[in-house]
Amino acid sequence: MSLGPTANALRAERIKFTTLPSQWAAPLTALALTVGITAAVNMAYGTKDHTPGEDPAGGIYYGLLFGHVAVACTGILLIGQEFNTRMINTSLTAVPRRGRSYGAKLLLGAGLGLLLGLASTAGSFLVVDATVGLDFSTPGLARSFLAGVLYHPMMVLICLGLTAMLGNFSAALGLLTPMVFLGTTWLGAIPGVREAGQFLPDRAGLYAMRTQTEPGIHYGHWTGLAIMALWTAAAVYGGLRAMLRYQASGD
């Protein structure tokens, strides 16, 4: 694969992203929710309720519990809007190599997610330190920071890949966003399903951010990050297979 066509495909994806307000609004919303809610909660309760102090990650990532829905929407929008408007056919005509077209979307999504992860995680750490104080020598905190950063690009890629597999913007938005926000939490509350629910990608990724162990979790923090990475790889591969089939089926 030559560098020229790949760079052109990536440039086309970047232009689409920067010129469609709905696409760049999603990561900005994710950043605002994650850092803003974390700051508000810590300013309001941090000095009175020290329960999160048992595991500093509880206070640091409180806003992410809301912001990661917008992170999921970022991945959905990177490809979902093209299915919704049928512009996917135009995109695939401009870049006939389906793998190259899909790969450019993945590269944009990974880069965007990484930047978002750095900004959101660093911002959350800083506001917690500014409001209630944070001991940066706490064991596991460096790993927690890394997991918080990597959670974002992996969530973007998971949702991008699953949207490609569904081939439908509305279905992806209606299925994935409630699942990320409430679905796995509900599953975790069902006794018979709780054991399996901890292996879902968002649960595993969020556990990787914890600094302490949690009863009932059958893996370590690094393993949680690896579990989410495996889900990411599976979603990316599934999306690739779907895009290749879309080439054969046409409109």
The model's pLDDT over 47-65, given as tens digits with 9 standing for 90+, comes to 665 544 478 898 999 999 8
Across the range 89-103, mean pLDDT stands at 81
pTM: 0.89
The rounded distance, in Å, linking the Cα atoms of 161 and 159 is 5
Q: Quote the percentage of the chain above a pLDDT of 90.
A: 49
Q: How confident is the model at residue 248 (pLDDT cuts 50, 70, 90)?
A: very low
- If one counts every other C-beta atom within 10 angstroms of the C-beta of residue 129, the result is 14
Which amino acid is located at 135 in the chain? D
More confident residue, 22 or 2: 22
Per-residue model confidence (pLDDT) at position 1: 43
As a whole number, mean pLDDT of residues 114-131 equals: 96
Contact 69, 181 (CB under 8 A): yes
If you average pLDDT over residues 126-153, what whole number do you get?
A: 93
Residue 92 clears pLDDT 90, i.e. is over it: no
Judge whether 124 and 63 are in contact, CB under 8 Å: yes
Residue range 15-35: mean pLDDT, rounded: 89
pLDDT at residue 2, rounded to an integer:
47
One-letter identity of residue 131: T
Lowest-confidence segment of 16-20, 64-68, 104-108, 205-209 by average pLDDT: 16-20
Report the alpha-carbon distance of residue 36 to residue 30 in Å, rounded.
Answer: 10
Angle of the 221-249 helix axis to the 98-131 helix axis, nearest 10: 150
Q: Rounded CA gap, 191 and 177, in Å?
A: 23
Q: What is the DSSP string of 16-35?
A: HHHH-HHHHHHHHHHHHHHH
Query: Does 250 or 208 have the greater pLDDT score?
Result: 208
b/e string for 99-125 if b means 16 or more Cβ within 10 A? ebbbbbbbebbbebbbebbebbbebbb
Let me know if 50 is exposed, middle or buried by CB neighbors in 10 A (0-12, 13-18, 19+): exposed
